[in-house]
Amino acid sequence: MPADAPPLLDGPSAPPATDGAPEQIIVLLHGFGADGNDLIALAPALAQRFPKAAFHAPHAPEPCEVMPFGRQWFSFTQYDPEMWRRDAANLVPALETMGEGARAAAPSLDATLDDLLTRYGLGPDRLAVIGFSQGTMMALQVVLRRPAPVAALIGFSGALTGAGALPGEITARPPVTLIHGEQDPVVPFAALAHAEAGLKAAGVTVDSHGRPGLGHGIDPEGLAIAAAALARVWPNDGTG
């Protein structure tokens, strides 16, 4: 690896549920203040539907700035995330500013995705990326700017940062599925409509789902929606 290459991200992983080499890779990107051990917990449920998939949940590159455990993809404190909850009119300018943080964190995640594809000898159509909260922000930042589209991008409870720059920077348009709790107290539900509009303006196919009564989390119905999105690109129970 060149000396100036971005560092690769490590984290927990799970092999395919069946014997043999993986035929798909599902990368799980955690939220602010968590780490890869949080989202790797989704692997057993998804493996029932996609038994030939390997799962990887990289840790974000930075220690969390507001708690003595967990990781962060980029700082939130400098962006005053409370302002989007105090006044919905602040949502868009806050997300535009957060794009700077997502952009700075992108190279290591991008390099990690490349490394996984090389390691397993698979093409981008065998890779899916699932994010939660800040992990969704990172998935949208990185995956839409890769040389070729991945099979699917699925985002829970997240947001599209830097939407203004996206039309001029997008290089890949995988199908995107967004799922968001309608009672989310952390990332406002209005972020779902903002993301959908920004992605569609950049020519991305988007399937959006609000989850009534759900806060900032992933419920069984949301996970089922994610599995159905993967099944559309990997039919026959993920066996291709």
Q: Would you name the residues annotated as active-site residues?
A: 133, 184, 216
Secondary structure in 3-state letters for the chain: CCCCCCCCCCCCEECCCCCCCCCEEEEEECCCCECHHHHHHHHHHHHHHCCCEEEECCCCCEECCCCCCCEECCCCHHHCCCHHHHCHHHHHHHHHHHHHHHHHHHHHHHHHHHHHHHHHCCCHHHEEEEEECHHHHHHHHHHCCCCCCCCEEEEECCCCCCHHHHHHHCCCCCCEEEEEECCCCCCCCHHHHHHHHHHHHCCCCEEEEEECCCCCCCCHHHHHHHHHHHHHHCHHHHCC
